[in-house]
Amino acid sequence: MTFTILSLTAAYALVVSLLAYLVLLSRLHWVFKVLSTAATVALIPLTFNAVGELRGLPSDGPIPSSFRMLWAEIVEPNQLQGEIGQVFLWLQPLDSDNYPVGQPRAYQLPYSDDLRIKISGAMSDIAAGEDIQGTVDAEETLPEATAEALALEIEDEVSDQQPTGSASVGQRFYLFDPSMLTFGTAQAPVTPAKPQ
């Protein structure tokens, strides 16, 4: 997300610099120069607020390989309105010694019945007061398929999920197999051995 924010900031700075170049060197009427400068200045706070809103969106990239699950929200598909289901996870990444790494983050996965069952079970354990740790083992279940076969599979899933057969604008699809995901009681962090 930080890369997105920096990219948008750099793009806006480029547009402003090109506008400044055109305003200074062009032979446009001074009214056009004033209007374009005023519009650019007026867009600065709007851009700032819009970029700030991006920080709250869940990541649609891969989830961490080891994490503590804090909570989840399951949005089931609605065929009548043409909405595909989503699973939103609030996760705290863990390192190899089970220590938290960075801040908790929201993630978004495509809905599936298998994923719903696993997430519902983990949420029940969290509601009962347990700390739940999850792991993703991608190496065991990744199919040996070509890039073309995976692209066709994603295209078929998209056309099955949406009546129009097209993805919504800006939506990225992360192919996630729920069998890669396992939940269990959170393990204690590995502490260093005491010197003797």
Q: What is the reported pLDDT for 131? A: 93
Question: 64 with 91: CB under 8 angstroms?
Answer: yes
Share of the chain above pLDDT 70, in %: 76
User: What backbone torsions phi and psi does residue 83 show, to the nearest 5 degrees?
Assistant: -95, 130
- Position 46 pLDDT exceeds 80: no
- pLDDT tens digit sequence for 86-136: 999 999 999 989 899 988 999 989 899 999 999 999 999 999 999 999 999
Domain boundaries, the chain: 2-54, 66-185
- pLDDT tens digit sequence for 56-68: 778 877 889 999 9
**Which residues have CB under 8 Å from 181's CB, separation 6+?**
115, 118, 134, 135, 136
Question: 122 with 98: CB under 8 angstroms?
Answer: no
Q: What is the reported pLDDT for 161? A: 45
Question: 37 with 87: CB under 8 angstroms?
Answer: no
- pLDDT tens digit sequence for 152-167: 665 565 454 444 333 4
User: At residue 129, what is the residue type?
Assistant: G
> How many angstroms separate the CA atoms of 16 and 21, rounded?
9
> How many angstroms separate the CA atoms of 63 and 133, rounded?
13
User: At residue 24, what is the residue type?
Assistant: L
Q: What three-state secondary structure class fits 28?
A: coil
Kindly state the DSSP code that residue 180 receives in the 8-state scheme. G
Residue 147 pLDDT class (50, 70, 90 cuts): low
**Lowest mean per-residue pLDDT among 3-7, 14-18, 33-37, 169-173:** 169-173
